[in-house]
């Protein structure tokens, strides 16, 4: 694919060396502000139509559903910043949910942390496989993860063999973990928040994170600058896989019913969340905060449709339209920035 080599605005949140940088940073904050604005309008409108929308139960459901999507979106953002994509996350979620489910089914006494570690391990293994094929095969992540999307899902079906794990076969403490709160914050939301904050800080302020942006902006330049592009590529996929594994555990805890189809089709929503949140498909820009906000927006849209009594089938169409809108907006910003940079250069 010829990814349009537009002048993608380089993200450098918080670091404002020159005036130009400042303006670019402002543009991106504008993207996130735009999502927040859309969220506020959507929530306000839906609430006026049906006050139930802002009930504690409804807000809690939205946050719980966002938590799973946001964890996936953080992983996706990490991969997309390096100019790759991971379409296999829905299948990794399914595989890890089933692995965790069957482990707990057989060993009722295992603590939640063991379940989480299992999910992370399964996911990281899948991610390592993706990353290794992309790195050593020198083939596009799109094709590799399109392949593993089906291969991992197939493996889950093989393993499950049409069986389903029901809530009554899972230990009570695990299900309570999926639906209970600590200090008023549901565990799932807390975990998603921790993932967001840690990933956000690492990407923003640590060398490992900045290297991913550099790779996404220009792989050749990154290589010349001594960045270990191959190793970092694998690392990004391992992170995405591991987070999909975490999402699988959260999914199992939240819904209690797990079959091989768990998380089927999630990859679309995850990519949409990241893209809508300002992560460019051609790498080098975007933040996990944006991806998290994108996840929240998509979830709220879903809930609003239900509350407004609109055909649920509109949701997928809206997801598609949002992806197109978001990449169109990115293109517009890129063209504007390129123009303004040109103008500035000519004045100097």
Partner 1 sequence: MSDKGTRPAWLSRLASWDAAVIVITVLVLVIASGAVENFGSSRNFTFLLLDLLPIALIALPMTFVIVTGEIDLSVASTLGLTSAVMGDLWNRGLPIETIIPLCLVLGAVLGALNGFFVTVLKLPSLAVTIGTLALYRGLAFVVLGDSAVADFPRDYTSWVTGTIGGGAIPNVLIPLVVLALVFGLVLHATPIGRSVFAAGASEQAARFAGIRVAPLKFWLYVVSGLVAGLAGVLWTLRYSSARADNGLGMELAVVAAVLLGGVSIFGGKGTLPGVLAGVVLLATLQNALRLQDVSNEALNVVTGVLLIISVLLPNIVIRFRAALRRRATT
Binding site for partner 1 (CB under 8 A): 1-4, 6, 85, 133, 137-140, 142-144, 146-151, 153-155, 157-158, 260, 268, 271-272, 275, 281-282, 311, 313-324, 327-328, 331
Residue 233 CB partners (closer than 8 Å, separation 6+): 82, 84, 131, 134, 135, 215
Q: Which two tokens stand for residue 56?
A: 């504690």
Q: Which two tokens stand for residue 202?
A: 């690492």
Beta bridge partners of 186: 181
Smallest separation (angstroms) from partner 1 to the CB of 281: 4
Rounded CA-CA distance 191/201 in Å is 15
Smallest separation (angstroms) from partner 1 to the CB of 313: 4
Q: Based on CB atoms, which residue is closest to partner 1, 16 or 264? A: 264
Smallest separation (angstroms) from partner 1 to the CB of 157: 3
Q: Based on CB atoms, which residue is closest to partner 1, 72 or 192? A: 72
Rounded CA-CA distance 41/24 in Å is 26
Q: Based on CB atoms, which residue is closest to partner 1, 58 or 145? A: 145
Smallest separation (angstroms) from partner 1 to the CB of 194: 29
Q: Based on CB atoms, which residue is closest to partner 1, 98 or 177? A: 98
Nearest to 114 by CA among 173, 66, 31: 173
Q: Based on CB atoms, which residue is closest to partner 1, 264 or 340? A: 264
Helix count and strand count (H, E) for the chain: 13, 2
Nearest to 236 by CA among 144, 125, 128: 128
Smallest separation (angstroms) from partner 1 to the CB of 22: 27
Residue 162 CB partners (closer than 8 Å, separation 6+): 260
Smallest separation (angstroms) from partner 1 to the CB of 3: 5
Q: Based on CB atoms, which residue is closest to partner 1, 262 or 323? A: 323
């Amino acid at each position: 694919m010829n990814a349009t080599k537009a002048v993608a605005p380089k993200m450098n949140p918080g670091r404002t060396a020159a005036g130009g940088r400042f303006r670019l940073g402002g543009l991106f904050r504008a993207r996130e502000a735009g999502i927040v604005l859309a969220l506020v309008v959507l929530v306000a409108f839906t609430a006026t139509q049906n006050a139930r929308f802002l009930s504690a139960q409804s807000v809690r459901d939205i946050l719980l559903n966002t938590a799973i999507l946001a964890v996936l979106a953080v992983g996706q953002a990490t991969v997309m910043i390096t100019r790759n994509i991971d379409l296999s996350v829905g299948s990794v979620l399914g595989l890890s949910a089933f692995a965790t489910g069957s482990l707990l089914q057989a060993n009722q006494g295992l603590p939640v942390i063991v379940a989480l570690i299992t999910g992370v391990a399964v996911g990281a293994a899948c991610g390592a496989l993706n990353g290794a094929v992309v790195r050593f095969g020198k083939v596009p992540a799109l094709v590799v993860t399109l392949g593993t999307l089906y291969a991992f899902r197939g493996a889950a079906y093989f393993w499950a063999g049409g069986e389903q794990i029901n809530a009554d076969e899972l230990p009570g403490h695990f299900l309570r973990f999926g639906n209970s709160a600590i200090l008023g914050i549901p565990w799932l939301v807390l975990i998603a928040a921790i993932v967001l904050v840690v990933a956000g800080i690492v990407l923003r302020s640590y060398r490992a994170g900045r290297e991913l942006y550099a790779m996404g902006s220009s792989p050749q330049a990154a290589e010349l600058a001594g960045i270990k592009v191959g190793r970092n590529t694998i690392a990004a996929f391992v992170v995405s896989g591991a987070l999909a594994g975490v999402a699988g555990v959260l999914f199992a805890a939240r819904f209690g019913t797990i079959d091989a189809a768990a998380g089927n089709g999630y990859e679309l929503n995850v990519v949409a969340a990241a893209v809508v949140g300002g992560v460019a498909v051609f790498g080098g820009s975007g933040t996990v905060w944006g991806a998290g906000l994108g996840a929240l927006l998509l979830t709220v849209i879903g809930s609003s449709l239900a509350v407004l009594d609109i055909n649920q089938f509109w949701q997928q169409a809206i997801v598609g339209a949002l992806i197109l809108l978001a990449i169109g907006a990115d293109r517009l910003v890129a063209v504007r920035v390129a123009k303004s940079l040109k103008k500035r250069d000519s004045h100097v």
